[in-house]
């Protein structure tokens, strides 16, 4: 490989390298994941399809991840005693951009969701409160903005399910 440029970038903790485009294009490194090909039972194919659905004491959250946010990122109406299922679809099309997912206080694993794929994390809240959700895989310079909140209300409360993107549920 003939290196044509090699330098640290100023103002960012990254290191840049440049090579001729042919080296990437002709060696199978250009891979795209079509979201239409995802036939997962709990897929969310676009942000407009993200939603939160209650079925008895189960709450199904159909969420998307793309740099640098989750949709929805504010969820309300989960109650103590519920089982929460985060079904997260990574909408990225580039092969090297996985996203992670975790909810603060979860006692099981985090997720690593590859581009175009859907994965589910089950969470059983053990107390009332506001719970941050966040990406656990460094995905871009704005990775740390990739977060949101789920409010858990007391068992028997009448807070309805609601969700939004980029603004508080209660204004
Ligand atoms: Cu991410």
Tell me the pLDDT tens digit for each residue of 24-68.
Answer: 888 877 777 889 999 999 999 999 999 999 999 999 999 999 999
In a domain, 27, yes or no: no
Residue 132: pLDDT over 60: yes
Q: How close is the Cα of 66 to the center of ligand 1, in Å?
A: 7
Supply the range of the domain harboring residue 61. 35-164
In a domain, 98, yes or no: yes
Structure tokens at 43: 């897929």
CATH of the domain at 147: 2.60.40.420
Q: How close is the Cα of 93 to the center of ligand 1, in Å?
A: 13
Q: Considering its fold, how many domains does the chain have in total?
A: 1
In a domain, 12, yes or no: no
In a domain, 30, yes or no: no
Structure confidence at residue 96 (pLDDT):
84
Positive or negative torsion for Cα 39, 50, 67, 113: negative
Q: How close is the Cα of 138 to the center of ligand 1, in Å?
A: 6
Residue 168: pLDDT over 80: no
- Name the residues around ion ligand 1, CB cutoff 5 A: 99, 135, 139, 146
In a domain, 119, yes or no: yes
Name the helix (H) or strand (E) containing 104. none
In a domain, 100, yes or no: yes
Q: How close is the Cα of 1 to the center of ligand 1, in Å?
A: 31
Q: How close is the Cα of 96 to the center of ligand 1, in Å?
A: 12
| Mean pLDDT, residues 134-145 taken together | 90
In a domain, 23, yes or no: no
Residues 6 or more apart in contact with residue 138 via CB below 8 angstroms: none
- Contact between 150 and 133 under an 8 Å Cβ cutoff? The reply is yes
In a domain, 116, yes or no: yes
- What pTM did the predictor assign? 0.84
Mean pLDDT of the chain: 90
Structure confidence at residue 166 (pLDDT):
81
Place of tokens 């969700």: 163
């Amino acid at each position: 490989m003939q290196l044509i440029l090699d330098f640290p970038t100023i103002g960012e903790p990254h290191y840049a390298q440049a090579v001729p485009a042919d080296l990437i294009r002709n060696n199978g490194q250009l891979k795209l994941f079509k979201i239409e090909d995802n036939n997962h039972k709990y897929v969310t194919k676009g942000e407009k399809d993200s939603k939160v659905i209650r079925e008895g004491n189960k709450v199904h959250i159909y969420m998307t991840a793309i740099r640098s946010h989750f949709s929805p990122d504010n969820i309300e109406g989960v109650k103590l005693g519920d089982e929460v299922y985060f079904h997260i679809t990574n909408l990225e099309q580039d092969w090297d951009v996985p996203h992670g997912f975790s909810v603060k206080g979860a006692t099981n694993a985090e997720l690593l969701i590859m581009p175009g794929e859907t994965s589910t994390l089950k969470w059983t809240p053990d107390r009332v409160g506001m719970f941050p959700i966040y990406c656990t895989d460094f995905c871009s310079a704005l990775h740390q903005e990739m977060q949101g909140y789920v409010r858990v209300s007391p068992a028997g409360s009448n807070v309805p399910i609601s969700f939004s993107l980029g603004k508080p549920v209660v204004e």
